[in-house]
Structures are given as C-alpha cells and as structure tokens.
Amino acid sequence: MQLQPACAPPTSAMAGLPDDYCTPPQIRKHRTKDGKSIPTVPPGKRLERRFDAFDLTRSEGGVMPEQETLERARQDERQGKSTSTQAGEFVREEMEHVRQGKHGARSPQQAIAIGLSKARRAGIKLPPPSAGKTSAQTRGRAERDYEKGQSGRPHKASPRRSRGAKRALKRESQESASPAALARHARASARRRGSADRRRAARQAANTKGLEGRAHAARQAARTRRARAR
C-alpha cells in the first residue's frame, strides 16, 4: 500500500457556497456606479468567512500527516492490524495537535473526523460508513476521501484554503481533546453500539493484540487498579 500525503478537499464538497468560491480574487469583482471594478470583500476575510460557513471536519484536508504517523500506519499494516487501527494513528495525531495548541476542534467528533479524513486521503483502506450509520453528506465526503487516497495520483493542496482552515480551527477550543471530553464521547459511543457489539469488538481487539499484547494490557490494568485502591 502506498500512503500518500493528505490533500485539500475537492471543490465538489463545497455545496452551498457561492459559485465564485474558487475564483481568484482578481476576477471576483463587481462594477461600481462609476464603472470601476473592485473586489466585493477582501480575499482573506472572504475565505475565512466561508470556512465558518460549512462543516470544519474537512478543514484540515490540506495539511499533510507527519512522517512518524505514516510510518506507524505502515507498521500496523505489516503486523496485520485492521484498517481502523491504522486510521487510528491519524486520529491520535490530530488529538496531539489539539492538545499541543496547534489548532482546536469544535468537539471530539470533529477531531476524529479530521483524522479519519486524512487517513483515507493518505491511502488507508478504511471503507466509508455504510448507509444509515451517518448522514448522506458525511458518507459522500468519506467516499470522496477514499477515492482520492486509492487513486494513486498525487493531489496538490490549495494553500489559500489550507491557511483559511488553520485560522478557523485555531479559534476552536482545545478542551475537545481533554480526557473528560474523550471519556464522555467514549461512553456515548458505547451506549449506541450495544452490549453485543462491544463484546465482539473486545474479542477482536484481544485477538489483534496477541499473547504479548494481552499480557502487557493485563499488567497495565493491574497497576491502574492498585493506584485507584490507594
């Protein structure tokens, strides 16, 4: 599998935005009464407003994943781990970026969505969610990300859109990656999955870890229990 750098979101994902969204600012003008042609809004402000106008789960599309993250994903693939585990490396990277203050996120779900989008665009074979599990808009976006990653062609990011995305995300809170926020998200997700699905996921995780991984997890759990008992 060839992992590719993530890229900017496709123009087709910009449904609902003005028709001249991607038009260069020198063309995006209107005529005044005296016949002069001037930009309608300063380009930087216009771009920034448009990133506020739609879902920011796409907004990190122009940022390449770190080389260390790509290497961890490759290692997971060589070890036979699932594609969701490989994509988890990109989600982990996004959480670290939020905690380090590189940018924020509106919610844990948004940070996770950014990481999954980057994973699909980098070539991880994580299939889009099936119909009924999420909205048609989210599913369509995931399908486009998946197709971009599997196409094998490099995709150049738009610098202007990347800068606007970063500015928009920097205004969001860093609390979305806090332990309390992630714990709330995990509990809510577990409740939606149901007990049978949780048991199946636990068995799959135990098989994936292997004997050494299970022993390490058991020792770590024992240390946690002792620390809480004090």
In a domain? residue 37 = no
Residue range 14-23: average pLDDT? 43
38 forms beta bridges with 30
In a domain? residue 2 = no
Whether 164 and 227 map to the same domain: the answer is no
In a domain? residue 139 = yes
Whether 133 and 204 map to the same domain: the answer is no
| Residues 184-227 pLDDT 10s | 998 998 888 888 888 888 888 888 788 888 899 899 999 999 99
Whether 85 and 177 map to the same domain: the answer is yes
pLDDT given at position 168 = 87
| Residues 80-119 pLDDT 10s | 888 988 999 999 999 999 999 889 999 999 999 999 999 9
Torsion of CA 58, 96, 172, 145, to 10 degrees: 0
Domain that holds residue 210: 195-230
In a domain? residue 217 = yes
Q: Which residue has the higher pLDDT, 91 or 156?
A: 91
Type of residue found at 79: Q
Number of domains composing the chain = 2
Residue 160 has pLDDT above 90, yes or no: no
Whether 124 and 220 map to the same domain: the answer is no
Whether 151 and 210 map to the same domain: the answer is no
Whether 77 and 151 map to the same domain: the answer is yes
Residue range 41-68: average pLDDT? 46
d(CA 128, CA 81): 18
In a domain? residue 110 = yes
